[in-house]
Chain A
Amino acid sequence: QQQVKQSPQSLIVQKGGISIINCAYENTAFDYFPWYQQFPGKGPALLIAIRPDVSEKKEGRFTISFNKSAKQFSLHIMDSQPGDSATYFCAASSGGGADGLTFGKGTHLIIQP
């Protein structure tokens, strides 16, 4: 499996601010790019996902930006709330997601009230 690089490792944002997490991938066969949210003691839960035929996808306060030529994608959390404090993982897969996910190392996000 090719690597997915995620940054930063940790992030502190004030309530109401914008949280931005970045990922880069190598394998051009990847065609599905999800973001997962994980709380302590829980399994990862899908937050939002994008396919390479679009450059941006927005769901509520969460937006994925995708740059196919640069092989990069990012998660933006608008109006960040204390309840958003969690670990966020980017991932990538081929086969539309059916081939198994290659995960980034995760970003520990803390939203300060």
Chain B
Amino acid sequence: DAGVIQSPRHEVTEMGQEVTLRCKPISGHDYLFWYRQTMMRGLELLIYFNNNVPIDDSGMPEDRFSAKMPNASFSTLKIQPSEPRDSAVYFCASGSWSRGGADTQYFGPGTRLTVL
């Protein structure tokens, strides 16, 4: 398996612009997680989905952030409008807790976002 795929790997944008981060989970995984990593706050859970349904979005910092999972093989994290304090590395992870699943989370390589 190719693992969790994220795109783009790097994104540089200007304040006020819309940013869309993309994630393809590992095939067969029924859970998908979005995390953010910064020096100040470390790794934080933003939102997670089970069977394409958002389960907990309490970590989403504010209304400028939104996430969708239209099908089992694709998810997006959108920031509109972006601000410099959104600069971070955003990770997507997937996992499976169904029968025969690995019961753990596999992380993608991340998207490094810089908002100028």
Contacts and interface: CB of A to CB of B under 8 A. Distances in A.
Interface of A: 1, 34, 36, 41-46, 49, 89, 95-106
* Most chain B beta-carbon neighbours within 10 Å: one of A45, A95, A96, A103: A103
Contacts, number: 59
Given A44-B91, A46-B104, A100 B56 contact: yes
B116 interface: no
Q: Which applies to chain B's interface (DSSP): helix, strand, loop or mixed?
A: strand
B105 A46 contact: yes
Contact of A43 (B50, B91, B97): B91
Interface residues of B, number: 25
Interface string B27-52: 00001010100000011110010100
Contacts of B110: 42-43
Interface of B: 4, 31, 33, 35, 42-45, 48, 50, 56, 58-59, 91, 93, 95, 97, 103-110
B45 A101 contact: yes
Given A1-B59, A104-B42, A97 B107 contact: no
Contacts of B33: 100-101
